[in-house]
Structure 1
Amino acid sequence: MIYSMTAFARKQLKGDWGTAVWEIRSVNQRYLETYFRLPEQFRGLETKLKDTFRKRLERGKVECSLRFDANSTSSTCLNMNQELATQLIHNAQWVTEQMGTGQINPVDILKWPGVMQAPEQDIDAVSAELMAGFESTLNDFIDSRAAEGANLGVFIEQRLTNISEQAAKVRDFMPAVHAWQKARILKKFEDAKVDLDGTRVEQELVLLAQKSDVAEELDRLDSHVSEARNVLKKGGAIGRRLDFMMQEFNREANTLGSKAINTDITAAAVECKVLIEQMREQVQNIE
């Protein structure tokens, strides 16, 4: 299976503790790089998240974020630190007696830090639920990469077929090209009023044939097409290999263009280069 490095997944979780939203997105990158945006109380999950990404991904710049909203209803039952409240009242009374004026405001006592406390959540239990949600989000994320990778595979396969068609066209052109070359040499001898020497004509034709012979380039293009298809079938982390193959494709297309001696072959070489460039751009997104 082919995987794209461009993907996105989002999942919302709900529990007694509140709500959370995981988001994972990625773009192409030469290696695997992970970035996290996590609430402070869940920073301890980062190491586990990194390890999970390394086990399941090969390449890409991956951004993972968690938004956490605690359930307000879970903190309606407040606990009072009575010992602290008693100390504050005694101290406030002493200050009031010393000043001779003023009175104690009960609301001020309740507002004092630590007097009223909400029950603490079980962070470990919440973290376990969040990690389960992350695994589900990651599965969706990988499925998204696979779906986009399948589209890239179809795109590349179409271009490979087109390159094979262009190579076949050039092969079909070659007999006519050789006949044209021979007629052109004979015409030059006739125009120069030179006695036709069969050996000389053959030598000229051999030299021209060597300069314009593109059979080797066409064979290599066909070989590269076959190898690229094998790589696509193999699947996995094939992006780097395909990127290298695009360089080989381009080298043969350039040589084919440099040997072109008529407009048909030139057009075929240009079309091949266009197809190769289209593949090269998309290969950058393959894992």
Structure 2
Amino acid sequence: MIHSMTAYARSDVKADWGSASWEIRSVNQRYLETYLRLPEQFRSLEPMLRDRLRKRLARGKVEVNLRFELTENAGDTLQMNEKLAAQLIEKAQHLHTMAGIGQLNLVELMRWPGVLEANEQDMDAIGKELLEKFDETVDHFLEARASEGQALEKMIVERLDGVTEQAAFVRGRMPQIMEWQRQKLNDRLAEVKEEMDPGRIEQEMILLAQKMDVAEEIDRLDTHVAETRKVLKKGGACGRRLDFMMQEFNRESNTLASKSISTDITAAAVELKVLIEQMREQIQNIE
């Protein structure tokens, strides 16, 4: 299966501590480039996020955005350290008994460091939860890439069918074109009433046929079609390989056009160029 480099995915998180959302989007790029936008309190997650992306992606400009919002007053609840408070009460009562002074002041007791603490959110636990949701978002992101990749593959296969059709057309027309060229040469000789040795005419036709011969180019086009289908079937990160194949296709179509002496062959060469360019444009988006 091939994957497109263009995709988008989003996942939302809702919990007691608040809400968050991951967004991942990518476009085509020669290499893998990752850009992360994270809230300051989660900057420590950046190396792990990059590592996760490198393990699952090969190419593309990937942008990751995390939006995070704590529930209002989520960290305002006070918690009592009852064990510490009990020890302080016991010691304080003992001192009051020894000193014979008034009652224990509970307000002063609560001011003792560590007796009352704000219930701060456990950011490590939240970070772990966000990482799990990030992995899930990457799964969705890869599914989107695969879906787009299937559409690209279908389009490319259709163009490959067109290349095969044009190559078969040129191969079938060449005998007729050669006969037409032979007749054209004879007609010109007749017009000028110039007699030529039949052997010389045949020699000229052989030289002309060599210049016009496109059998090798047509065979290579068929070979390139077969190889491209093989690369598509294998899948994986094959974008660069496919881009190289398009260069080979272009080379053969250019040679075919340069050898053409028929409007039919010229039209076929132009159609080949159109098909190849359509494939090349889409292959730029393949990982």
**TM-score normalised to structure 2 length:** 0.85
Counterpart-to-counterpart distance in 1, 2:55 and 2:235 = 17
* Contact 1:257 1:269 survives alignment (8 Å): yes
User: What residue is the counterpart of 1:228 in the other structure?
Assistant: 228
Counterpart-to-counterpart distance in 1, 2:267 and 2:117 = 79
Counterpart-to-counterpart distance in 2, 1:176 and 1:218 = 16
1:1-287 equivalent positions in 2, closer than 5 A: 1-72=1-72, 74-78=74-78, 118-287=118-287
Q: Deviations over 1:163-217 (max 9, x none)?
A: 0000111111111101101101111221121224210110111011011111011
SS at match of 1:63: strand
Counterpart-to-counterpart distance in 1, 2:38 and 2:74 = 22
Counterpart-to-counterpart distance in 2, 1:118 and 1:187 = 104
Aligned residues: 252
Counterpart-to-counterpart distance in 2, 1:2 and 1:202 = 52
Please say which of residues 190-199 and 45-54 is displaced more in the overlay.
Answer: 190-199
* Contact 1:232 1:238 survives alignment (8 Å): yes
User: What residue is the counterpart of 1:87 in the other structure?
Assistant: none
* Contact 2:29 2:60 survives alignment (8 Å): yes
Counterpart-to-counterpart distance in 1, 2:262 and 2:118 = 84
SS at match of 1:48: helix
* Contact 2:246 2:276 survives alignment (8 Å): yes
Counterpart-to-counterpart distance in 1, 2:76 and 2:35 = 35
Q: Deviations over 1:58-89 (max 9, x none)?
A: 00000001000101253352579xxxxxxxxx
Identity of aligned residues (%): 62
Counterpart-to-counterpart distance in 2, 1:195 and 1:240 = 58
Q: Deviations over 1:30-82 (max 9, x none)?
A: 110101000111110000000000100000000001000101253352579xx
Query: Residue type matched to 1:35 in 2?
Result: Y
Counterpart-to-counterpart distance in 2, 1:273 and 1:118 = 70
SS at match of 2:148: helix
Per-residue deviation, 1:120: 1.1
Query: Residue type matched to 1:29 in 2?
Result: Q
Per-residue deviation, 1:117: 7.7
Counterpart-to-counterpart distance in 2, 1:175 and 1:118 = 91
* Contact 1:13 1:133 survives alignment (8 Å): yes
SS at match of 1:74: coil
Structure 1: gaps (5+ residues) = 81-115
SS at match of 2:74: helix
User: What residue is the counterpart of 1:111 in the other structure?
Assistant: none
